[in-house]
Amino acid sequence: MSHKRNPQSLLTPAMRDVLHAIAKAGRPPIAMLTPAQAKQGYALGAGVLEINAQKMARDDTLHIPTRDGATLRAKLWAEHAHPNLPVLLYFHGGGFTVGSPETHEVLCKHLAHLAQCAVMALDYRLAPEHTFPTAHNDAVDALQWLAAQASSLGLDATRIAIGGDSAGGTLTAATAIAARDAGIDLQLQLMFYPGCSPDHMPSAHSFEKGFLLEKTSIDYFYSHYMPNPSERHDPRFSPLLADVTGVAPAWLGLAECDPLVDEGVAYADHLRLAGVPVDLEIYKGVVHSFIQMGRVIPEALTAHADAARALRHAFGL
């Protein structure tokens, strides 16, 4: 994408107000915090700008075994206790370092409500305690477990989608590739502003500072997840480097004023060149993480509705 010389002028008035309020609060940049402080701060701040959570008939805690003998927690939400529900396996954002199903609970419940499906949010292991490719392996293990256990959970094993935001979008892209290789027939891969490239693209410089997610924050997160920078060229982290022929159809929702926006556009093009059906939406005047600001940013609710529409279409609803 081409970017204006004064990118601040792109922001919507509501988005500008949110960024001003955040700056006025005077919190230290995340790159100045220890990982433990970052985790705590992110958890405390989650939900501040969210809509009210939808009420769910199902609110289950699941336990998923991994290839290395660990057990992962996941939350399963559904508005109705109907049998044979389609399901979205969701990977939360947070730079592979912060976040949990609870930080994305409102979003997941809203998608479950709008798409009339179940949503399973995975509590994958985080950096710096667990470095690359642990999060990726956890995501793939959770999908394989879900595909095998769906019927016993009252879910439809023939209607599984995966999705996520930011780092969770990266996990979604890489897991869709692993699903193709494993013969798991996904109905959709749904990604909000994923990271896809081993290197910064032009938007990382256009929106380097002052747009919530900053370039230094991206480097902070990646350095914890990938202490060895050469690993950034692994396709499990940079799906732009992967062969994506035959992966599931994709829906991407990007923020115009986001350091990662060019990576999302490039990945949409990469998928299309491989013959993969792609739906791409770029929400004007908003920043990274806007989908969790539904109380004050109208574009968040639009993005929720668009994503849910894509899910319903993929599930045949």
> Catalytic residue positions?
166, 258, 288
Q: Residue 2: is its pLDDT beyond 70?
A: no
* Whether the Cβ atoms of residue 56 and residue 116 lie closer than 8 Å to each other: no
Amino acid residing at 270: H
pLDDT tens, position by position, 147-196:
999 999 999 999 999 999 999 999 999 999 999 999 999 999 999 999 99
pLDDT tens digits, 229-267? 999 999 999 999 999 999 999 999 999 999 999 999 999
16 backbone dihedrals φ, ψ, rounded to 5°: -65, -40
Question: In terms of C-beta density within 10 A (0-12 exposed, 13-18 middle, 19 or more buried), how is residue 264 classed?
Answer: buried
Instruction: Look at residue 1 and tell me whether its pLDDT is greater than 70.
Output: no
Q: In what order do the strands lie in the sheet with 58-65?
A: 58-65, 71-78, 118-123, 85-91, 155-165, 188-192, 250-257, 278-287
**pLDDT tier, 3 (very low <50, low <70, confident <90, very high otherwise):** low
- Mean pLDDT taken over the chain: 96
205 pLDDT higher than 80:
yes
Backbone angles phi, psi at 257, to 5 degrees: -105, 60
Residues above pLDDT 70, as percent of the chain = 99
Q: pLDDT band at residue 4, thresholds of 50, 70 and 90?
A: low
